Amino acid sequence: MNIAVLIKSVIATDEPIIVRGGIIEDSGAKKVINPYDEYGLEEALRIKEDVGGTVTVISAGTEKCVEALRTALAMGADEAVWIHLRDGEADEHTCSLLLASALKLKAYDLVWAGHLSVDNGAGQVAIRVAELLGWPHAGAVTAFRLAKGEKGLNGEKGLNGEKGEYGKKGEKEKILLVERDAEGDSEDWANRGSGIWLHVTKDAEGDSESLELPLPALLTAQQGLNEPRYPALAGIMKAKRKPLTELTPADLGVELASAEAAPRTVRLDCDAPPARAAGRRLEGSPREQAVELLSLLRSEANLLKEVR
């Protein structure tokens, strides 16, 4: 199975953020692979170890991508792709076009990415990529397994299949996919989209949804999916010899200034949030503190009025 993982270099979450002149200072800050991307990378590596195949890590951005890509190679990825971009040159629209183009260079079966990045926090790029590729996606995945035309797919009905006429159509759809699996070489994991189903559990505001989707597909990793490994020394040495391909937007056929690819949004400015002043400490016994807190929340903070 050929797996791609979209990764981003971000300032580590334990670093303070310093804004100077409308720009976030990042030259001195410690950078890491976006933690959510790292969960996706770990899962991709586990799949490779389980069924074979390759893991390609792809990142778009400035030179800071290189360290993240090398770390991913040290963790066990096979090859890396760095798409050159200058800061501020792309928004999520442009970035997703570049990544989708890069993903067309090889026949990938599965793409992992992070649920969101801890810097921009928009959570757009990966899902945009799925749409641009015309693939199904599942976001915020907390558990994952592969299944090859399992029995469960023949018999039991999914929730979609339990209601109304559409459900019956959905049922037929499923059977077709299972048949396709039976006709193909079911042992050939490299056979793209050969009736292999992904069973995923995703987080939806505290609920957990169990989904099945066929390959090729894109998944975004949520916290709780796994515990990412640390690169071993041998891995770090090996990583230096693994291929890291550099591509420009032009190499990918994307003209950044064109109407099609140009950013749709632009940052006007950026600053630190207003500092929050520490308030007051409540004294006395726990009971006295509790009474004072409840009355202050009502009288001073104008809270807890509509509750009772």
Partner 1 sequence: MERGTSAHGGEGAMATHIVVAECRDGQLRRVSLEAIAAAKGCMQDGDSLAVLLLGGGDGEATASVSAAAGLLAQRGPDEVIVIDHPILGRYAPEVHLAALLAAAKALAPEARWWWLGHTAIGRDLAPRLAARLGAGQVSDALAAARGADGRIVFTRALHAGKALERRAFVPGAPTVVTVRPNNFAPAAIVAGPAAPICSLPFNPPPSRIIVRDVVRRASGAVDLAEARIIVAGGRGVKSAAGFAPLAQLAALLGGAVGASRGACDAGYCDYALQIGQTGKTVTPDLYIACGISGAVQHLAGMSRSRVIVAINKDPDSPIFSVADYGIVGDLFEVVPALIEEWNNGV
State how far the alpha carbon of 29 is from the alpha carbons of 11, 16, 73, in Å.
6, 8, 22
Q: Using CB under 8 A, pick the residue from 105, 132, 146, 236 that binds partner 1.
A: 132
Binding segment for partner 1 (CB under 8 A), chosen from 60-68, 131-139, 232-240, 249-257, is: 131-139
Q: Which of 66, 72, 108 has its CA nearest to residue 84?
A: 66
Q: Closest separation between CB of residue 49 and partner 1, Å?
A: 24
Q: Closest separation between CB of residue 20 and partner 1, Å?
A: 11
State how far the alpha carbon of 225 is from the alpha carbons of 46, 185, 301, in Å.
12, 30, 39
By CB under 8 A, the residues from 190 to 229 that bind partner 1 are 199, 203-214, 222-224
Q: Which is nearer to partner 1, 178 or 236 (CB)?
A: 178
Q: Which of 80, 85, 92, 43 has its CA nearest to residue 62?
A: 85
Q: Is 304 in the site for partner 1 (CB under 8 A)?
A: yes
Residues 198, 259: Cα–Cα separation, whole Å: 37
Residues 284, 183: Cα–Cα separation, whole Å: 76
C-alpha 60: how far from chain center: 14
Q: Which is nearer to partner 1, 160 or 186 (CB)?
A: 160
By CB under 8 A, the residues from 85 to 104 that bind partner 1 are 91-93, 96
Q: Is 257 in the site for partner 1 (CB under 8 A)?
A: no
By CB under 8 A, the residues from 160 to 179 that bind partner 1 are 160-161, 163-164, 166-167, 169-170, 173-174
Q: Using CB under 8 A, pick the residue from 78, 89, 119, 251 that binds partner 1.
A: 119
Planar angle of CA 228, 35, 132, nearest 5 degrees:
110
How many alpha carbons fall within 13 Å on the CB side of residue 206? 0
Q: Is 64 in the site for partner 1 (CB under 8 A)?
A: no
Q: Closest separation between CB of residue 296 and partner 1, Å?
A: 6
